Structure 1
Amino acid sequence: MPAAAFDISRIRAVTLDLDDTLWPIWPTITRAEAVLLQWLTEQAPATAALFSDTTALRAIRNQMVSLRPDLQHDLSALRRESIRLALTQAGDDAALAEPAFDAFFAERQRVELFDDAHATLAFLAQRYPVVAVSNGNADVHRVGIGHYFKASISAQEFGVAKPDPRIFHAAASAMGVAPHEVLHVGDDATLDALAAITAGMQAVWLNTAQKAWPHDTPPHATVSSLTELCRLLDGPVALP
């Protein structure tokens, strides 16, 4: 199927994915899991002994996806309940799951943005209302970028996750525009680009890894960086 024409004149608002769009997620999660393991070593040593490395902690977190499919849209709840399960299996106090998660979550907000992220966010926010749409549990205010956004809609708060069209439509409603007037930008070909197209939006796929597009319906545009996104919309970004 040929690509639909990218129409900049239709854009009245922009929605943005967060993880792997504005910052790399796995270095952040790796650090947060290390902080969690250190917290368990100090506060729940039996659990730390049973789950002695971050690989084991990640494995039980992934197991929780199967155990609690009702929580698939809520990554914070999945992580918290996986910690609770680990504590229970080790014979530690399950109530420690709350402060243990708090330690993990604080580190999870310490993201390292891509070099051109701030300049891109400023560029977009000067031209359009911008709403974050994420399946993850980053808090744009704790991350330090909340001032760029009119709103932030997370799957865990909204109750459904991308690619469900309802979360995209909620973002359009938050900006007072129709879905066809929204440009969505994200790194995931399925959860971001194709899902936004299905929801009636224009979609730009941020393809930093130069992957092949996996679907029949192509995005309206593909860019290899946030800076290229700004060039697509209105000339180059002046990086700091």
Structure 2
Amino acid sequence: MSAMLDPSRIRAVSLDLDDTLWPVAPTIARAEAALRDWLAQHAPATAALHARPAAAQALRAQVEQDRPDLRHDLGGLRRETLRRAFLAAGDDPALAEPAFEVFYLARQRVQLYADAHAALEFLSARFALVAVSNGNADVHRTGVGRHFRAAIAAGAVGVAKPDARIFHAAAQALDVPPAAELHVGDDATLDALGAVRAGMQAVWLNRSGAPWPHGPEHAPHASVPDLTALCRLLAGVPVAAPALHGVSS
């Protein structure tokens, strides 16, 4: 099993965004609804195509195949998929840009978890914070930017978690070695395992109480059920951390 968390080593904290600071599914659902409404008003033929899940998924798959350069750029993938949808429906492909902006702006209207505001205040008062995300949330547009010194997105650096290079880019942005950074995120593979393999300490934010899936030799340095427990842990307050039970080999 990984070593226990050593708070004395931490000079910076990197935080995942989606499903760590806010639930992403309802955020995307609201953004999709805003996009559908816009399409219905400005491009009915594309709206009809977009409403057919199989057709929309086929377009997305074709873009992913044709544009490997957009593999880690979710915004770029969506923008290009929209452009092709407009073309396929016989609408003006130039509408893809305003259509994407409608989705993107709505995607930034997040509803933070109840523990997120206090946790961000606590963490940013004690550590340099950097956001590390595979998604396309903008910390400033979501309203939490004042807490972060930097933000690293997969689309900008060209690699996504769990690739060690995105974690190292976060450490470089704050001018600390990887060993001095703690990464916190909800995904066992993308966040916790990726950070451990990148030479960082890692805390798995496991709100659902799921079993650790990767074996004890790759376990994170700590697991917490919420951000309040994370803050207590970093403040040196004893926390009954959930056991990393049910590990698989």
When the two structures are superposed, what TM-score results if normalisation uses the length of structure 2?
Answer: 0.89
The residue aligned with 1:221 is 222
Letter in 1 for 2:89: A
How many residues end up aligned between the 2 structures? Answer: 235
Which residues of 2 match residues 43-54 of structure 1 at below 5 A?
Answer: 43-52=42-51
Distance verdict in 2 for CA 1:40–1:15, change over 3 Å: same
Distance verdict in 2 for CA 1:62–1:214, change over 3 Å: farther
Deviation, structure 1 residue 90? 0.8
The residue aligned with 1:191 is 190
Which residues of 2 match residues 19-168 of structure 1 at below 5 A?
Answer: 19-52=18-51, 57=56, 60-61=59-60, 64-168=63-167
Q: Please tell me whether the aligned partners of residues 179 and 201 of structure 2 are also in contact (alpha carbons under 8 angstroms).
A: yes
The answer to which of 2-11 and 220-229 deviates more is 2-11
* Aligned mates of 1:80, 1:166 — CA distance in 2: 25
Superposed CA RMSD: 1.7
Identify unmatched segments of 5+ residues in structure 2.
239-249
Distance verdict in 2 for CA 1:121–1:68, change over 3 Å: same
* Aligned mates of 2:6, 2:61 — CA distance in 1: 40
Percent of matched pairs sharing the same residue: 63
Residues 175-222 of structure 1: CA deviation (Å, up to 9, x unaligned): 121100110000111111111011100000011111111112101000
Letter in 2 for 1:107: A
Identify unmatched segments of 5+ residues in structure 1.
none
The residue aligned with 1:233 is 234
When the two structures are superposed, what TM-score results if normalisation uses the length of structure 1?
Answer: 0.93
Q: Please tell me whether the aligned partners of residues 15 and 130 of structure 1 are also in contact (alpha carbons under 8 angstroms).
A: yes
Tell whether 2:203 aligns with 1:204: yes
* Aligned mates of 2:119, 2:72 — CA distance in 1: 28
Deviation, structure 1 residue 233? 0.8
The answer to which of 153-162 and 187-196 deviates more is 153-162
Deviation, structure 1 residue 59? 6.3
* Aligned mates of 1:145, 1:57 — CA distance in 2: 32
